[in-house]
Amino acid sequence: MKKINADEIKLLSKYIYDVSGIIVDASKAYLLETRLNSLLDEMGLASYRDLYYKAVADSGKLTEGKIIDAISTNETLFFRDTGPFEVLRHKILPDLIDARSNRSTGQLPISIRIWSAACSTGQEVYSIAIILKELLMNMSKYSIKLLGTDISDAAVKKSSYGEYGRFEIERGLPSDKLNNYFHRSGENWKIRDELRAMAQFRKINLHNSLRFLGQFDIIFCRNVAIYFSPEDRKKLFDKLAGMLAPDGYLIIGSTESLTGVSDKYVPQRHLRSIYYQLQ
C-alpha cells in the first residue's frame, strides 16, 4: 500500500471537503490510504498527489465520483439500531396516519412522503418499506413515496437495483422478512418488486440546495452529519426543518443530538428513542 504524506493529506482533505462536505483531517491518514490506494492501482497513478490532480483536471468528474464512492462510509444494515424503526412502527406512523386520515375528509389516497437522506446502499429505505407494508393493511388507501438519496453514485446504483449478498442480508434482516420480501437471484437476494416500486433513489449532495425535493412527512438523516463541521451540521438541519411538514418527524442517529445544533426542533421521546418535531 502506498503511503500518503502530509502535503497530500492537505490536498485531498480540502478537495474531499469541497466536493462532498466530508471532513477528513490529518488524523485520518490511514483512512485515506485504505480507501484510495486501490484507485491509484486502478488508474496507474504513482501517488495520491497524482490522484488529486487527475480529479481536478477531469471535467467529466468521473474521478471525483470514484473518490466520493471510495471515501463515503456506506456502512449500513437492515433495521440498523432497531430503536428508530420501533418508534416508527409503534408511534410515528400511527400518529401520522391518524392525522392524515382526519384531514383527508374521506378523500383517498392519503399521501405519505418519507426521505432517507444518506441512504447508503438502500437497506434503511427497504426497512422502512417493510414496516409500511406490514403496518398498512390496505395499501391502496395510501400514496406512498419513499426517497433515498446518497452522494455516492455506486451506493445509489446498488440501492436502485435492490440486490444484496448473503453477508448484507444476514446483517439485521430476520428470516421471516427475508422470505416474505426478497427472492433469490443467483447467489444473492433481491427485494420484491412491490417494495422496490415504493422507492426512488437519487444522487444528492446534502450541502447543496434541497428545496426542489419538496416537503416530507418523515425525514431520516442518521449518522451522516457526524462527518460535517459544526457550522455545516447546523446548516443541514436548518435546511431540513424547511422541508418537514408542520407536524412532520425527523429521526437522527442514536448517538446524535440537536441540542446546541439547531433551535428549530423539539425533542420527543418514545420507547427509549428520541425523535424531533418542529418548534
CATH of the domain at 16: 1.10.155
Half-sphere exposure of 65 (CA within 13 A, CB side): 12
Residue 202 domain flag: yes
C-alpha cell at 99: 392525522
Residue 76 domain flag: no
For residue 108, the model assigns a pLDDT of 77
Residue 44 domain flag: yes
Are 199 and 235 in the same domain?
yes
Are 200 and 171 in the same domain?
yes
Total count of domains within the chain: 2
Distance of CA 90 to the CA centre of its chain: 22
For residue 240, the model assigns a pLDDT of 97
**Residue where the block lists cell 426497512:** 127
Of 239, 238, 229, 266, the closest CA to residue 13 belongs to 229
- The CATH number given to whatever domain includes residue 167 is 3.40.50.150
Asked if 147 and 114 count as a contact pair (C-beta separation under 8 A), the reply is yes
For residue 76, the model assigns a pLDDT of 86
C-alpha cell at 177: 422478512
Are 142 and 272 in the same domain?
yes
For residue 275, the model assigns a pLDDT of 97
Q: For 85-89, which contacts have Cβ atoms below 8 Å and span 24 or more sequence positions?
A: 85/127, 85/128, 85/131, 86/271, 86/273, 87/251, 87/270, 87/271, 87/273, 87/275, 88/128, 88/131, 88/218, 88/251, 89/131, 89/134, 89/135
Are 110 and 228 in the same domain?
yes
Low-confidence ranges of the chain (pLDDT < 70): 104, 106
Are 199 and 66 in the same domain?
no
For residue 24, the model assigns a pLDDT of 86
Where does a domain end: 28, 45, 71? 71
Are 141 and 57 in the same domain?
no
Residue 153 domain flag: yes
- The DSSP code for 78 is T
pLDDT tens digits, one per residue of 224-258: 999 899 999 999 999 999 999 999 999 999 899 99
C-alpha cell at 3: 503511503
Are 24 and 129 in the same domain?
no
User: Exposed, middle or buried, 91 (CB in 10 Å: 0-12/13-18/19+)?
Assistant: middle
Are 107 and 162 in the same domain?
yes
Q: Is 40 helix (H, G, I), strand (E, B) or coil?
A: helix
User: Exposed, middle or buried, 93 (CB in 10 Å: 0-12/13-18/19+)?
Assistant: buried
For residue 171, the model assigns a pLDDT of 86
Are 103 and 156 in the same domain?
yes
Give the C-alpha separation, 128 to 222, whole Å.
14
Where does a domain end: 71, 100, 120? 71
Say what angle helices 6-20 and 29-43 make with each other, to 10 degrees: 90
Residue 77 domain flag: no
Where does a domain end: 71, 98, 128? 71
Asked if 114 and 143 count as a contact pair (C-beta separation under 8 A), the reply is no
For residue 72, the model assigns a pLDDT of 84
Residue 78 domain flag: no
For residue 1, the model assigns a pLDDT of 81
Instruction: Find the distance separating the first CA and the last CA of the chain, reported in whole Å.
Output: 51
Residue 1 domain flag: no
Residue 274 domain flag: yes
Are 55 and 190 in the same domain?
no
For residue 190, the model assigns a pLDDT of 97
The domain of 174 spans: 83-278
Are 183 and 267 in the same domain?
yes
Are 88 and 67 in the same domain?
no
